[in-house]
Amino acid sequence: MAGKARRRVAVERLEHPGSPPPAGSRHEPVAIDLDRLIHERLRLGIVSALAVNERLSFNDLKRLLRTTDGNLSVHARKLEEAGYVRCDKSFVGRLPKTEFRLTVAGKGALERYLDHMEAIIHATRDG
Amino acid sequence: MTQPTPARNPRSAFAPGAPGAPGSQDSQGSDTTEPPALHLRAMDNLRFIRQTMEEAVYFTAVSGVGEIAVGLTALVAAWLASHRATAQGWLTVWLGEALIAAILTGGAVVWKARQARLSLVSRPGRRFALGLLPPLAAGALLSYALLAAGERALLPGVWLLLYGTAVVTGGAFSVRIVPVMGLGFMALGGVALFAPAAWGDVFLGAGFGGLNLLFGLYIARRHGG
């Protein structure tokens, strides 16, 4: 029963991250606040790609993640606003160049997210 | 380029309405359908992170600094080879250079993959190797056949052409400049095939030395090392 309760809590936390856990529920270890910011697939892709590269240009990220200019811009800006990635803009000749780096906060967020996913898997198996 | 698999689809997991997603038909039923869906979605997310990291490693696997180092050793090799009196001495110099280049460039890829704690036999790694190795193997076989037939003069053109082909095919999933570099080698090799035999070391020096230096500097500047 406890396993089922834990799983139910985890599902609810995925659906409504940030909401308080149900009273009396045994929610550890899966009921950790899910970082909705990097939970979205494209943002998760950006953070993952930058975790193994010191920096990546806008065009490289776009090609690697097979996405569009607009989509990448929107999601990269959200990560930048959260302080997870740093965006450096410069000019190479007359061409503008945008590069992204993962910040310490971004690395921490990815590690927490990985821990969260692993906790969900362990909780499901243990249950 | 392969099409994204369902697992790579940004909307495949955790998306409202997706099979197994919260709120979908199968998650509203009995308790027994929830755990596998949650478990699978978490695993799918971990798989996505790993795949993205692996692809990102091979996407920027070519090291600009490594290419510069190969370019410099190739210039030395071209000078040394041009001063060898025998065919065997000439061949030894260039085979030695090929070994040094393989260690420098291969070492950079291995180091980068290990730094990221990623497997070298991952899907992108295998794709990289499968693109790179067949033209190089063809080059080795052709070299042996041409030497046996006494056609040493054709070797510089064949080497540049097939090395360029390997860079184009192996670098198809890398940053855009890598296949462009391969095309440069192929063009130079094509010219070398029809140039006078005495220019062989000049072409090899210009290709393995000059092009590697040129593109290495560009990659190091634009793609960080």
CATH architecture of A2-126: Orthogonal Bundle (1.10)
CA distance A2 to chain B (A): 13
What pLDDT score does B64 carry?
83
pLDDT tens-place string over residues B160-219: 999 999 999 988 888 888 899 999 999 999 999 999 989 999 999 999 999 999 999 988
**Could you give the residue ranges of the DSSP H alpha helices within B2-122?**
34-59, 64-82, 87-115
Assign residue A57 a region (left: φ > 0; alpha: ψ between -120 and 50; beta: otherwise).
beta
Q: What is the mean pLDDT of residues B136-162?
A: 94
Query: Residue A90: which H helix or E strand, with range?
Result: strand A85-92
For residue A29, say if its preceding peptide bond is cis, omega within 30 degrees of 0: yes
What pLDDT score does A10 carry?
40
- Distance between terminal CA atoms of chain B? 26
* pLDDT at A13 exceeding the cut of 50: no
Is B22 in contact with A125 (Cβ distance < 8 A)? Answer: no
Under DSSP, is residue A57 helix (H, G, I), strand (E, B) or coil? strand
**Among candidate residues B141, B136, B144, B143, the one with its CA nearest the CA of residue B164:** B136
Considering only CB atoms, B48 lies closest to which of A44, A50, A54, namely: A44
**Among candidate residues B39, B91, B112, the one with its CA nearest the CA of residue A51:** B112
pLDDT tens-place string over residues B93-140: 999 999 999 998 888 777 777 776 777 777 777 888 888 899 999 999
Relative to beta strand A56-57, strand A85-92 is unpaired
What pLDDT score does B139 carry?
94
**Among candidate residues B77, B47, B34, the one with its CA nearest the CA of residue B203:** B77
Q: Report yes or no: B21 and B27 within 8 Å, Cβ to Cβ.
A: yes
On the 0-12 / 13-18 / 19+ scale of CB atoms within 10 A, A82 is middle
Domain ranges, ordered by start, for chain B: 6-55, 61-223
Q: What are A's interface residues with B at a Cβ cutoff of 8 A?
A: 3-4, 7-8, 10-11, 14-15, 39-42, 44-45, 48-57, 59-60, 63-66, 92, 110, 114, 117-118, 120-121, 124-125, 127
Whether this model's pTM surpasses 0.80: no
**Among candidate residues A53, A33, A52, the one with its CA nearest the CA of residue A109:** A33
Q: How many CB atoms within 10 Å of residue A17?
A: 14
* Complex prediction ipTM: 0.73
What pLDDT score does B77 carry?
95
What pLDDT score does B93 carry?
95
To probe the interface with B, which of A11, A12, A100, A110 has the most B CB atoms within 10 Å? Answer: A11
How many contacts, defined by CB atoms under 8 Å, are there between A and B?
105
Q: Report yes or no: A62 and A69 within 8 Å, Cβ to Cβ.
A: yes
pLDDT tens-place string over residues B35-75: 557 778 889 999 999 989 988 887 877 778 888 999 999 99
**Could you give the residue ranges of the DSSP H alpha helices within B116-211?**
123-148, 155-170, 177-193, 200-204
